[in-house]
Structure 1
């Protein structure tokens, strides 16, 4: 009569799922490309022609000529020599043309200037190559020394030539186009004179370039900064020289009205100053308007609905109202670019009725200077302190205190019942400064929406992407252009490099007699930083099929159409699979009617759901939200997982009902088969059926008895152990207690959210926000339904166990089935049978506790940063902790009451054993010893060992799943 078998093991798919995800992350993680070229010693004979300084096409021109000048003093030429060289490029009778393309770059040695010059040279040279120009000397760069005060000490130059034949014959005439590329030091040209006054930049450029032939066109790409652009407007130069200049501005973003009041474009502001002026990048006001509109689409909008011109009440309600939404602007305080952008953002946000909080820092917060690295710095590079010290050149400690100050202001706003700081803008022209500021602010207020300007490929680097993920970036360009404009050039490192490339392509097209639509080049682009790419958030009108003839928009992207052919093949695959299954299972209709085979149709439903998800993924921008699985910038995976968790909760609910019903049938067939009536209680010993009757009454179901007070024990136990007692009544028949409990859970959640903050959904449209709310309510309601069901089942099991704690009496028919015909000794076996019944009856109840943990983990998994910028507030953690505590408390109470049943049974059996030994009944005493041993060693249901307890396994699975998810997020965000 041993009945101490172990409980069946629980499913182990969550750990395997996490292991699979970690393995997939390791497989798809990009590995670094490491060059294998050995170090080359300086060997060989130096030889150079016109361009004497050794330099590759991607090197910084200023650094290259400065090194050569230091090693070879006196080996240079004058501007007159360069002008004569330009005259000799074209001989009489040849189809030849010479043009000068000057690029203004900052020549100062500050940190980051060399990299900027390196990037711009790469872009300009790539644009020349895409237009058919080739460098005359790809391994050297030339330079001249103007030798006049106020002019740059060195002027780097290089020649690029294009040769085209007028016909396909070999003896056809060759048309040559020469480009003299001049690298102009804007810092030297724009330096103020010693006697004071504005910098005579144009006068210095005239002194520098007037010796060039008059037939040589002068095109200038610049200026490099908005400050220089503003100085050009007030700078006066000789009209004959100024009309020779054709300016093309790819860098300066100062708004036209800030440049000159009442001006709507840069072209109009300089219409009468030069031979031509074209701005080819979006200005600060365009970027600010795009950012303000995107913030409003993401819910950062203080406007309130109106009715017949009157604002509806509720805007100033605490927490729920829209008053007090704050946007913090953290920018550089020592650059005109950051100050102008901050002012433009403040103006753009004013119509949306949000409060603006402005603060800032000084450029160069890391304290690094060009050439300032020392051996001491290198030796201590790997030494990391717990926190930076507030001393020295590094200004990082200011950022930390600035973040703490914003956090205090956030707390004050929330205590006043306002939403607080919902978005933080990091403004500046130094990427590394912005990265440090972003890291400091994000650590203080992680649930805020962060935005900045100027796209940089370093944002996707694994070392930076952990901080920059989900950063909203407004930029004049992306990292690439339309295919006809981009040509064979790879995507660039930042948006200014792309701007320089596009501007150079446009200049060369104008030199060749083409035209370009200027307005289409000045467009504000919006991106969200993903895991491996920048997710575009807005589209630009116009198409580009051929450059420059048919290119209205140089940033046009290929239209994303539905891959109907792929959908067709998917449908064909599903149809062929269904046909194959029908051949393998010809009795599919009968299988549909059999409950045990319905899971196949569940799998079919899952397949259809996956197909639907794939269809949604093919849409360009479903409901205004970009789609991506693991890019980290889409809420769609979260919605799918939440919806799947809700459906799974309902499936587990149905499975729990069927499992409990099956357990009831097994228990009745095992213990109460053939029992027909309830016998009256004897003294203090209650009948087991009487315990079930009380149990039914506790559930709200009065057992129906016959007029003779006799009842069908099988029917009673089916109701007790089956569909109407141990398994609570169907919800459609008795939904009131469940609805009330669900309502109380929702009230608890709402109160917690009101006290500690609502979770913010990182979605970017009203429709997607409504969809998110709907899916969240449905999935959480399904989870709470399952949770309440499990708690009620556990509570009823506790009541049953508590009723079995006292002395009970089993029907004689049940005793006979277990080989116990001696009714006068039935008290010896009642306790043993009570424990066996309790163990078997609670076996499915214990497994039910596992179900809410599975759904809770899926809901937690849906909130992962693998999919989007989901940040769980304190209120959500409190609710999850409360839910876990309730489950743990219910399971602990059930185990505690069950242990009391076992201890009482052992105590009574010990007493019976002493009585039997006193009466000389050694055989019965040995039977009692056997029953005591079985009761002590039983490992079924609620009496299972701790390692086999579904509660322990569920808790460990949930904790290991959350830990694995955190580890996966760390690897994913770190690019490991």
Structure 2
């Protein structure tokens, strides 16, 4: 029988890994939805009736609360709700009307009845109440609200919800005493649609009506509005100066001055259109703030607490350049698509603003005369965009949803949200009939794909620049799969874009926003992060409106009531949607001496004191090194082979691996900091960083080096063992003739013409062709040819996307990618060459008679108790088994590296893709290595069959021998049995062969178990 070989791992790595995974899985906590335990009594009164109040919680839509109240009164009383005809808002005040000082704060809100309008009102009220609370104002009642009716001339009756806020302790300071100089604030909720085409005139009428009914004049008007850029543009038209010419020499310029609003301050936290768009592109005054100047000329003050669209466009253009999508390049600009609605001023102006800003930045980059933004916008007034810009539009409300009818039933188009439908319902929804525009959206996708084919390049970036978040989500859902290489970007951060249900199409979306979801902790106070950036802007506006955050020192510094100072310059923010929310990518400038902090929440990965990216602390590094040292010490104590390995000469090589890994990690961390805050973020779980991929590629490179060294060491050790086992050193030294065709492979290695060859000579010829230089002569040309083939595939099917950010990130990742690809290719051809050389050796052994040393024959014959003439075939099979045991195990190496390189491109880490060319290369790598392993196994099986055939042929020749000759028959039959039951090296059963593990490796768990079992046998 063959000598049994214990291939069981000395370390139960597979079992340990299974236990570890089981333990980790038990610690994984499913984050289920938060559920309330509040009991609901269906028979209790649904509302509490107060004559001059309406039941309403502070987080409730005020108009919804008032509408429900009015509907209930109409159903219960015939006289209606006449007690709300006049404001009567000072009833119950503790002081007389003549001495009562208060401020009025009209708040412009979206009055649309759609779901988006309701949600915006909920958010606006939450932000306003939070801002007033942070400033130290308490609501008159947390469960009710007032309202009155007001009729604009030649217009319908409008409902105006109102609520009082009185001074109280501030949330932004530890001093919980009331503010002695603060005045109560009367908040008026106004639907912007109710104000008509002349919002200033309507607001003046409302204020006059309020003063008349209340018989009291407020000390100040702090208006939180206008709500949209269109409304602000309408106000500017109302304030446009009129020119009167009395004669040729006398010209009078007069500015409208709303009498009741004199001294009023407007805080615009929603209108973001650029000044040329608001004023008319061709007639923009050459002043720093032309929009604010027009308000000032009318006796009003406008404070735009939110930036304009051109600032966001500037950030987006610069961000695209950081990702090597340079739309300011002098030539060969990348193609981008801009998609927005055309039925709003915002949707029409933002794409033009983006292109105009890109043109200005291109002029600056090329040292050309820089035209004004107004000039560029005027040139785009006819929607004539450059060749590299592809403009597409749609009508807002792609889903065709309408508000519910008065009877409480959903409108036909509102039934069945898209998330609640099956595949059949979705197909019906996209039918080209009815209000839904989803079929238009599908055709828009096809139009973009055709445009990509007809243009001279694919879309490198696609901007979704609409105003409605739900429209953005549907567009992203439709486009994402068809344009995997494109970088998608948009404006205005909204938590709906980061919801887990939307991540399949919103992840890695780049967002430029004037605000994040929270401010600096000193401003945010205990209030949780908001739902969108406009809530944050409104919260900031409220702090400015009540002077909790006051502009001082020439309006360049903002001073908090607690004494904290902030910069008045509100820079835009940049985000990328990650797996757990929006990741802040804002390129904050390095702090200078005397510079003030921003009102924004600092980036969590940036040190506010230095402005540099944070690195792991020395304490963390020390703990990790200590843990690694303890693990290594424990391994030394429990593993005797590792102990003796560390005592031997291989200790230097053994320690070189962790030293190399340490140097690479330090270099990687240093490289990640080269671009600063303008570079790629260093995160491993958010899915917005290429550094995890770079780490895996570095691991693949290190493993390639280890596999080269380990395989060379195992082959050398195996060669020494074979020399001792088969007594090659006992034979005469034979010289080998080097191959005359070293670059053409091993095809010219032929046996001796006589048909027999000494085993030692054959072994030395084999070893000479397995030396480093000989292998390099064969491997390098093959690897170069294969690399050229890969480049041709990439040119045909497109190069994979490299989602880097910053020049240092690109350079480092290309270097790492190049090193890992070269190492992977060389390792693959090295393993294949070792396999093919062994196959060639087996083929020669099959076709020639091998002359083994006499002492070896005698020893094996005595050991097996057979005649010396019958052990030749057995020795050949044993030689093949022992050599292929090492070479067959090497088949794992390229599969492990290919597996790592494929995992490194997984979309879990970043915006990686898998184009057809790359998939073909990875498949060819695996098939090439696997195919050669199969051929090696087949060659070994042929050798076994040939050995058995020869022995059986000799056995057949003994069929006519007398009974006394049966001893030879038994000897031959014994050797046939030994050969047939050989289960070593290439003769292993397929399920135990490394080939089977290599096949199973890409499948995940099963393949990893095989790999761990194999790796465990190495120790």
TM-score, scaled to structure 1:
0.84
> Does residue 1:248 correspond to 2:267, yes or no?
yes
Q: How many angstroms does 1:362 deviate by?
A: 1.9
Alignment correspondent of 2:584: 536
Match of residue 88, structure 2, among 79, 82, 85:
82
The CA distance in 2 between the partners of 1:860 and 1:169, in whole Å, is 58
Instruction: Name which of structure 1's ranges 930-939 and 383-392 shifts more when overlaid on structure 2.
Output: 383-392
Q: Alignment partner of 2:847: what SS?
A: coil
Match of residue 180, structure 1, among 166, 182, 186:
186
* Per-residue deviation, residues 870-914 of structure 1 (Å, max 9, x unmatched): 112211111111112211221222222222222222222221111
The CA distance in 2 between the partners of 1:452 and 1:480, in whole Å, is 19
Match of residue 808, structure 1, among 846, 849, 860:
849
Match of residue 805, structure 2, among 744, 757, 764:
764
Alignment correspondent of 2:57: 56
Q: How many angstroms does 1:356 deviate by?
A: 0.6
Match of residue 284, structure 2, among 242, 252, 262:
262
Q: How many angstroms does 1:77 deviate by?
A: 4.2
> Does residue 1:273 correspond to 2:298, yes or no?
yes
Match of residue 157, structure 1, among 162, 186, 194:
162
> Does residue 1:909 correspond to 2:951, yes or no?
yes
CA gap 1:92/1:652 in 2 versus in 1, 3 angstroms: same
Alignment correspondent of 1:297: 322
Match of residue 837, structure 2, among 781, 790, 796:
796
Q: Alignment partner of 2:102: what SS?
A: strand
Alignment correspondent of 2:38: 37
Q: Alignment partner of 1:253: what SS?
A: coil
Q: Alignment partner of 1:215: what SS?
A: coil
> Does residue 1:786 correspond to 2:786, yes or no?
no
Is the 1:190–1:228 Cα contact (8 Å) retained in structure 2? Answer: no
- Superposed counterparts of 1:634-673, under 5 Å: 634-672=689-727
TM-score, scaled to structure 2:
0.80
The CA distance in 2 between the partners of 1:514 and 1:80, in whole Å, is 40
The CA distance in 2 between the partners of 1:22 and 1:764, in whole Å, is 38
Q: For the aligned residues, what is the CA RMSD?
A: 4.4
CA gap 1:18/1:34 in 2 versus in 1, 3 angstroms: farther
Structure 1 unaligned segments of length 5 or more: list them.
193-197, 306-314, 316-322, 680-688, 704-709, 966-976
CA gap 1:421/1:562 in 2 versus in 1, 3 angstroms: closer
Match of residue 490, structure 2, among 443, 447, 452:
452
Alignment correspondent of 2:731: 676
Alignment correspondent of 2:976: 932
Q: How many angstroms does 1:654 deviate by?
A: 0.5
- Superposed counterparts of 1:9-48, under 5 Å: 27=28, 30-41=31-42, 43=44, 47=48
* Per-residue deviation, residues 191-239 of structure 1 (Å, max 9, x unmatched): 68xxxxx995445445554536333311111111111111111125653
The CA distance in 2 between the partners of 1:128 and 1:542, in whole Å, is 33
Q: How many angstroms does 1:925 deviate by?
A: 2.0
Q: How many angstroms does 1:389 deviate by?
A: 3.1
> Does residue 1:490 correspond to 2:523, yes or no?
no
Is the 2:514–2:533 Cα contact (8 Å) retained in structure 1? Answer: yes
The CA distance in 2 between the partners of 1:585 and 1:296, in whole Å, is 52
* Per-residue deviation, residues 275-295 of structure 1 (Å, max 9, x unmatched): 211111121111111111111
* Per-residue deviation, residues 599-628 of structure 1 (Å, max 9, x unmatched): 456346546766776787899947721110
Alignment correspondent of 1:429: 467
Instruction: Name which of structure 1's ranges 936-945 and 24-33 shifts more when overlaid on structure 2.
Output: 24-33
Instruction: Name which of structure 1's ranges 625-634 and 400-409 shifts more when overlaid on structure 2.
Output: 400-409
Q: How many angstroms does 1:383 deviate by?
A: 2.9
The CA distance in 2 between the partners of 1:178 and 1:822, in whole Å, is 108
Is the 1:77–1:143 Cα contact (8 Å) retained in structure 2? Answer: no
The CA distance in 2 between the partners of 1:460 and 1:23, in whole Å, is 30
Q: Alignment partner of 2:298: what SS?
A: coil
Is the 1:280–1:503 Cα contact (8 Å) retained in structure 2? Answer: yes
CA gap 1:869/1:702 in 2 versus in 1, 3 angstroms: closer
Instruction: Name which of structure 1's ranges 520-529 and 885-894 shifts more when overlaid on structure 2.
Output: 520-529
* Per-residue deviation, residues 783-827 of structure 1 (Å, max 9, x unmatched): 111111101101101111111222423322221120169999766
Q: Alignment partner of 2:163: what SS?
A: strand
Match of residue 119, structure 1, among 119, 123, 126:
123
Q: How many angstroms does 1:379 deviate by?
A: 11
Alignment correspondent of 1:958: 1002
Match of residue 285, structure 1, among 310, 314, 324:
310
Is the 1:226–1:253 Cα contact (8 Å) retained in structure 2? Answer: yes
Structure 2 unaligned segments of length 5 or more: list them.
75-79, 240-255, 363-385, 559-566, 750-755, 1010-1019
Alignment correspondent of 1:973: none
> Does residue 1:133 correspond to 2:184, yes or no?
no
Is the 2:870–2:971 Cα contact (8 Å) retained in structure 1? Answer: no
The CA distance in 2 between the partners of 1:146 and 1:171, in whole Å, is 38
Q: How many angstroms does 1:836 deviate by?
A: 1.9
Alignment correspondent of 1:309: none
CA gap 1:28/1:532 in 2 versus in 1, 3 angstroms: farther
Alignment correspondent of 2:67: 66
Alignment correspondent of 2:423: 384
Q: How many angstroms does 1:917 deviate by?
A: 2.2
Q: Alignment partner of 2:403: what SS?
A: coil
Q: How many angstroms does 1:524 deviate by?
A: 2.0
The CA distance in 2 between the partners of 1:360 and 1:172, in whole Å, is 53
CA gap 1:253/1:302 in 2 versus in 1, 3 angstroms: closer
The CA distance in 1 between the partners of 2:811 and 2:117, in whole Å, is 47
The CA distance in 2 between the partners of 1:410 and 1:913, in whole Å, is 74
Q: Alignment partner of 1:184: what SS?
A: strand
CA gap 1:121/1:863 in 2 versus in 1, 3 angstroms: same
Q: How many angstroms does 1:660 deviate by?
A: 0.9
The CA distance in 1 between the partners of 2:157 and 2:18, in whole Å, is 61
Is the 1:145–1:155 Cα contact (8 Å) retained in structure 2? Answer: yes
Alignment correspondent of 1:419: 457
Match of residue 901, structure 2, among 850, 856, 859:
859
* Per-residue deviation, residues 702-722 of structure 1 (Å, max 9, x unmatched): 99xxxxxx99976x6775566
The CA distance in 1 between the partners of 2:220 and 2:8, in whole Å, is 86
The CA distance in 2 between the partners of 1:10 and 1:172, in whole Å, is 74
Is the 2:499–2:581 Cα contact (8 Å) retained in structure 1? Answer: no
CA gap 1:652/1:51 in 2 versus in 1, 3 angstroms: farther
Q: Alignment partner of 2:34: what SS?
A: coil
Q: How many angstroms does 1:27 deviate by?
A: 2.2
Is the 1:329–1:426 Cα contact (8 Å) retained in structure 2? Answer: yes
Match of residue 786, structure 2, among 745, 751, 771:
745
* Per-residue deviation, residues 544-603 of structure 1 (Å, max 9, x unmatched): 999xx9876455564566779931563477479769989998999993653278545634
The CA distance in 2 between the partners of 1:553 and 1:763, in whole Å, is 29
Instruction: Name which of structure 1's ranges 669-678 and 588-597 shifts more when overlaid on structure 2.
Output: 588-597
Greater RCO (CA < 8 Å, at least 6 residues apart): 1
Alignment correspondent of 1:338: 347
CA gap 1:504/1:821 in 2 versus in 1, 3 angstroms: closer
Q: How many angstroms does 1:865 deviate by?
A: 1.7
CA gap 1:199/1:57 in 2 versus in 1, 3 angstroms: closer
Q: Alignment partner of 2:38: what SS?
A: coil
> Does residue 1:526 correspond to 2:529, yes or no?
no
Q: How many angstroms does 1:359 deviate by?
A: 1.1
Is the 1:632–1:865 Cα contact (8 Å) retained in structure 2? Answer: yes
Q: Alignment partner of 1:760: what SS?
A: coil
Q: Alignment partner of 2:188: what SS?
A: strand
Q: How many angstroms does 1:494 deviate by?
A: 0.4
* Per-residue deviation, residues 369-419 of structure 1 (Å, max 9, x unmatched): 222637994599443327443333322222222222222332344xxxx43
Is the 1:106–1:224 Cα contact (8 Å) retained in structure 2? Answer: yes
CA gap 1:884/1:48 in 2 versus in 1, 3 angstroms: same
Q: How many angstroms does 1:520 deviate by?
A: 3.6
The CA distance in 2 between the partners of 1:171 and 1:224, in whole Å, is 34
* Per-residue deviation, residues 507-529 of structure 1 (Å, max 9, x unmatched): 11179897864894543211111
Is the 1:332–1:360 Cα contact (8 Å) retained in structure 2? Answer: yes
